[in-house]
Amino acid sequence: MSGSLQELPVGIQNFAEMVEGGFLCADKTAFLAKMVSRRGVKAWFLARPRRFGKSLLVSTLESLFTGPRELFKGLAIEKRLGEEIFAPRPVISLDMSDTVTDAGVNEFRRSLARLTSSSAIWREDENSVASSAPSSAAEFIYEPDPTLSAAEIFGDLIKTLSTRSGRRVAVLIDEYDKPYLDFVKKPDEAEMIRETMRNYYGRLKSKGKYISFIFITGISKFSRMNIFSVMNNLQDISINSDYASICGFTHNEFTRKFAAHLEEAAICLGISRDDLIEKFKDYYDGFSFDGKTQVYNPFSAALFFEEKAFDNFWFESGTTQTIAHYIKDKRLTVEEFRGISVPRYFVRNPGEMDSSGPASFLYQSGYLSVRAGESIKQYTLDYPNREVYESMSRLLVDNFYDEAQIAEGKREKLREALKSGEASALIEVFNQFLADIPYDFYSKAHRKALTIDGIEITFGEWLYHSNFLSFLVGAGVSARAEKHTCLGQSDLVAEYAGKAWVIELKMSRNGNDGAVAKSSLKQIRDKDYAGPYDNPILLGIAINESKRTIGAWEVGYKTRI
């Protein structure tokens, strides 16, 4: 990286380290100022996907209450630091991802007790209460009764810290749901974890008079974890438009903050700055939590500029095996979650992540994002951007094979067939792919709804259509479904290596594969699906339903005059 460029905070979640190191970041302190100064509300909750900046927000609040004021020089909140509402106070800062969850429930409980015992931050000296700008903060020395449970230690610590300091305490809890999510595939242990956490978070209510401010983050909203009955005025800002960009970069923030990085990356990739921004937006923008404001994923943005390459950074950084097993167990297709309509209450209360349907699971995990619906009572869910859509498509195909290397070999053959322009080569690859799809995938998938976006279609046709599209997109091919023209919409359009393929597929049920293939090709011509493309390859396909393979195909060409 050029020495003139501001360094990127890859993996840095500590606010003080970010500021002191001069790393590039967006100023989100105006949101925090609004929260801290809000009268009548002292408990806040924010749900966001993993690696979206939640921990940095918690660290920023920790510094606001306990750190040197110099850290906030030039930031939006600086001018308000003299107000009493922003006065320093003792903090209990808990990162639940620091608990031990791989050695059983009892060890988890012990680790939670240890974490709680060392979570207090306050300078114990004679000037602490009077100081409006403590120069540094240290761990509050607290030695609990070893016979107490983690919940009892938590409650006693809140009271002791407030009493000894003479101030009410700020409680910051990051990744509140992480312990439960780590046990979610073990129902009996998961219920014990949930009960432990219910009792633990319940102390926030019983010790409320000693607390001035609460901020809790997680990736999901478990009503049974008790935090939503902790305080009557808990403010959930997860889908609140006023806080929609509290995490991530808006487009304006991105183009302003990364201006120099964009120039360097454009030169490195040999494209214009505008083309780079357009492609970047397609890959990494599109996360929305209120249906209106869209933000870039901060993790993928930083890694792109580190590596100067478009890749699926956010998706691959997480627990891909968890989502892979979920997709496989449920026999999900990628396309069934595109543009699905949900009521507004679903977005605010999507249900328990461990027991609700796939749409709830994918939405709460961050793989589906919110879009505006057809009315004020509706939202639409869809994949936020190409990174997530392509990754989900790739994952679906990977599930059909025992080894990732085999799946990648299939994708390479697909790319070679598209590049060759030979229809026979592409049909061969498609048929090999169909042969690899497990039998029970079809039987389980067939029990799903037949209506997509309000249009009644033959389900079998849609199932093949969806899997072909996932195969193409997962291979890094520019592919779209139901591409609209003035006369209708084609099933698939794939563009790769300078060649455009316009594909129409139909089901053949009566042994008339050839006639069906001819009909598919004729429809492409009659409806002029290939109109927008130069020298496209037209491919009509007949799927033999009984054999679950391509029974016949017809190829054609159209040269633009």
pLDDT at 3: 53
pLDDT at 451: 46
CA 403 to chain centre: 25
Distance from C-alpha of 304 to C-alpha of 187, rounded to nearest angstrom: 39
Whether 198 and 288 map to the same domain: the answer is no
Boundary (domain end) residue, out of 204, 238, 272: 238
Whether 497 and 466 map to the same domain: the answer is yes
Please check the confidence at residue 539 and state whether its pLDDT lies above 60.
yes
**Count of CB atoms situated within 10 Å of the CB of 177:** 23
| Contacting residues for 239 by C-beta, under 8 A, at least 6 apart | 289, 290, 291, 347, 348, 370
Confidence tier at 133 by pLDDT (50, 70, 90):
very low
- DSSP per residue, 10-64: TT---HHHHHHTT------HHHHHHHHT-TT--EEEEE--TTSSHHHHHHHHHHH
Most confident of 245-249, 347-351, 437-441: 245-249
Confidence tier at 125 by pLDDT (50, 70, 90):
low
pLDDT at 487: 39
pLDDT digits 0-9 by tens, 480-513: 876 444 434 667 999 999 999 999 999 888 889 9
Please check the confidence at residue 441 and state whether its pLDDT lies above 60.
yes
Distance from C-alpha of 528 to C-alpha of 553, rounded to nearest angstrom: 19
Boundary (domain end) residue, out of 311, 331, 349: 311
Q: Is residue 267 one of the residues assigned to a domain? A: yes
**∠529-433-524 over CA atoms, to 5°?**
10
Distance from C-alpha of 234 to C-alpha of 40, rounded to nearest angstrom: 10
Range of the domain at 110: 15-238
- Percent above pLDDT 90 for the chain: 61
Q: Is residue 157 one of the residues assigned to a domain? A: yes
Distance from C-alpha of 21 to C-alpha of 18, rounded to nearest angstrom: 5
Q: Is residue 352 one of the residues assigned to a domain? A: no
Whether 152 and 263 map to the same domain: the answer is no
pLDDT at 548: 87
Q: Is residue 33 one of the residues assigned to a domain? A: yes
pLDDT at 131: 41
Token pair recorded at residue 304: 């792109």
pLDDT digits 0-9 by tens, 135-179: 445 556 788 888 999 999 999 999 999 999 999 999 999 999 899
Distance from C-alpha of 439 to C-alpha of 447, rounded to nearest angstrom: 14
Whether 190 and 100 map to the same domain: the answer is yes
Q: What is the mean pLDDT of residues 90-115?
A: 96
Whether 482 and 532 map to the same domain: the answer is yes
Q: Give the type of residue at 13.
A: Q
Torsion of CA 480, 485, 487, 489, to 10 degrees: 10
pLDDT digits 0-9 by tens, 227-241: 676 666 789 999 999
**Count of CB atoms situated within 10 Å of the CB of 152:** 17
**Cα separation values, 397 from 280, 532, 551, Å:** 25, 30, 22
Whole-structure pTM over 0.85, yes or no?
yes
Whether 414 and 536 map to the same domain: the answer is yes
Local structure of 207: helix, strand or coil: coil
Please check the confidence at residue 212 and state whether its pLDDT lies above 70.
yes
pLDDT at 559: 64
Whether 265 and 137 map to the same domain: the answer is no
Most confident of 91-105, 137-151, 521-535: 91-105
pLDDT digits 0-9 by tens, 269-303: 999 999 999 999 999 999 999 999 999 999 999 99
Identify the bridge partners of residue 485 per DSSP, sorted by sequence position: 488
| Contacting residues for 524 by C-beta, under 8 A, at least 6 apart | 490, 502, 504, 530, 538, 540, 556
Indicate the number of domains in the chain: 3
Q: Which helix (H) or strand (E) holds 517?
A: helix 513-526
Please check the confidence at residue 226 and state whether its pLDDT lies above 80.
no
pLDDT digits 0-9 by tens, 362-403: 898 889 999 988 888 889 999 999 999 999 999 888 888 877
**Cα separation values, 9 from 15, 29, 169, 260, 545, Å:** 10, 17, 30, 15, 53
Whether 142 and 38 map to the same domain: the answer is yes
Whether 167 and 275 map to the same domain: the answer is no
Local structure of 217: helix, strand or coil: strand
Boundary (domain end) residue, out of 214, 238, 262: 238
Distance from C-alpha of 491 to C-alpha of 484, rounded to nearest angstrom: 9
Q: Is residue 337 one of the residues assigned to a domain? A: no
Report which of 403, 404, 339, 405 is spatially closest to residue 372, judged by C-alpha positions: 339
Whether 269 and 231 map to the same domain: the answer is no
Local structure of 361: helix, strand or coil: helix
Identify the bridge partners of residue 557 per DSSP, sorted by sequence position: 537
Mean pLDDT across the chain:
87
- 246 near 46, Cβ under 8 Å? yes
Identify the bridge partners of residue 480 per DSSP, sorted by sequence position: 493
Strands (E), 412-450: none
Q: Give the type of residue at 75.
A: L
Please check the confidence at residue 217 and state whether its pLDDT lies above 60.
yes
pLDDT at 476: 92
Q: Is residue 90 one of the residues assigned to a domain? A: yes
pLDDT digits 0-9 by tens, 35-77: 999 998 999 999 999 889 999 999 999 999 998 999 999 999 9
- 494 near 479, Cβ under 8 Å? yes
Distance from C-alpha of 381 to C-alpha of 370, rounded to nearest angstrom: 5
Whether 194 and 305 map to the same domain: the answer is no
Whether 232 and 91 map to the same domain: the answer is yes
Distance from C-alpha of 169 to C-alpha of 312, rounded to nearest angstrom: 41
Q: How buried is 397 (Cβ within 10 angstroms: 0-12 exposed, 13-18 middle, 19+ buried)?
A: buried
Name which residue leads in pLDDT, 465 or 426. Answer: 426
pLDDT at 540: 95
